[in-house]
Structure 1
Amino acid sequence: MDAAAKTRIYSSFEAQSMMATLGAKLSEVSHGVVRIEAPILPGALQQQGFGHAGLTFSIGDSAAGYAALTSLPLGMEVVTAEIKINLIAPARGDGLIAIGKLIKPGKRLCVVTSEVFAIENGQEKLIAILQGTMVPVPV
């Protein structure tokens, strides 16, 4: 990826107030792959003390969307048309990592996936898998 394409993704991410609220950061941007990391903050817990599924979904969706955006020309953005999540383990630990991947690029639809991992005591544990469709839109 060239510098302009990466800058577009970092700038778009910085414009998301939800990601700022969650304390999320982009930690990797490469063609077809985006990694987002977020702490499990006290304000993002569910009633049993685990990270809320909304946190897991939010960073998984954003990682998948930005993975799709890596394949699109400048002047385009994406919106989520549909995305599903399988929650497979509680979000225990200090933080989450979402790794979004582009499965099939396209001009009208992009198929994407994300895996979300919880970090506890330095160990990564897969806690969710997302799959969805992103729609390219002009800026």
Structure 2
Amino acid sequence: MNDRTQQEEASPVVRKRVQDSFDAQGLMAHLGARITKIAPGRVHIVLPARPEVTQQHGYIHAGATSAVADSAGGYAALTLLPEDCDVLTVEYKINLLAPAVGDHIEAIGTVLKSGRTLTVCRLEVYGVRDDGERTLVANGQQTLIRMGGTG
């Protein structure tokens, strides 16, 4: 994926498909996450900081951080697949680099390679304060498998 592609918005059809799928996820709704950007090969998901998603020290829990990162990568992959396809995560590795603090976290999934069967994505999660300060709190890589479709 090049930088120009990542700045574009996905087509209305792709945005609706991704948003409808996201809205059907019980976990994302339970966590209070929302999609803020859908572009070809790139999706951003924001999770507001609130007590229900923190661990005992007040940081956003690694499980919540990982879950939004996994979804961001999965939906980034979905933006590049035909309409009759879906994806499932095969594996992901995430490194927690700093405590997840801020007013919200932002997970960014970016497709590195979209293949016929497997797609590989980069995962990044930032802690973001309302004043705009951003800190990379996690990064990783994910592999997804294409489900369905013939194209």
Task: Indicate the TM-score class for this superposition, using the shorter chain for normalisation.
Answer: over 0.9
1:127 matched residue in structure 2: 137
2:115 aligned counterpart, secondary structure: coil
Cα pair 1:61 1:130 within 8 Å, conserved: no
Segment of structure 1 superposing worse, 2-11 or 77-86:
2-11
2:34 maps to 1:25: yes
1:105 matched residue in structure 2: 114
Q: Matches of 1:17 and 1:40 in 2, distance apart?
A: 18
Amino acid of the residue matched to residue 137 of structure 1?
M
Moved over 3 A (4+): none
Q: Matches of 2:30 and 2:49 in 1, distance apart?
A: 12
**1:29-44 alignment to 2 at 5 Å?**
29-44=38-53
2:81 maps to 1:49: no
Q: TM-score, normalised by structure 2?
A: 0.88
Size of the aligned set, in residue pairs, is 139
Q: Tell me, which stretches of 5 or more residues in structure 2 are unaligned?
A: 1-9
**RMSD of aligned residue pairs (Cα, Å):** 1.2
1:76 matched residue in structure 2: 85
Structure 1 or 2: more strand by fraction: 1
Name the % identity: 42
Deviation at 1:2, TM superposition (A): 2.5
1:84 aligned counterpart, secondary structure: strand
2:5 matched residue in structure 1: none
Q: TM-score, normalised by structure 1?
A: 0.95
Q: Select 1:116's aligned residue among 95, 115, 125.
A: 125
2:105 matched residue in structure 1: 96
1:51 aligned counterpart, secondary structure: coil
Segment of structure 1 superposing worse, 36-45 or 77-86:
36-45
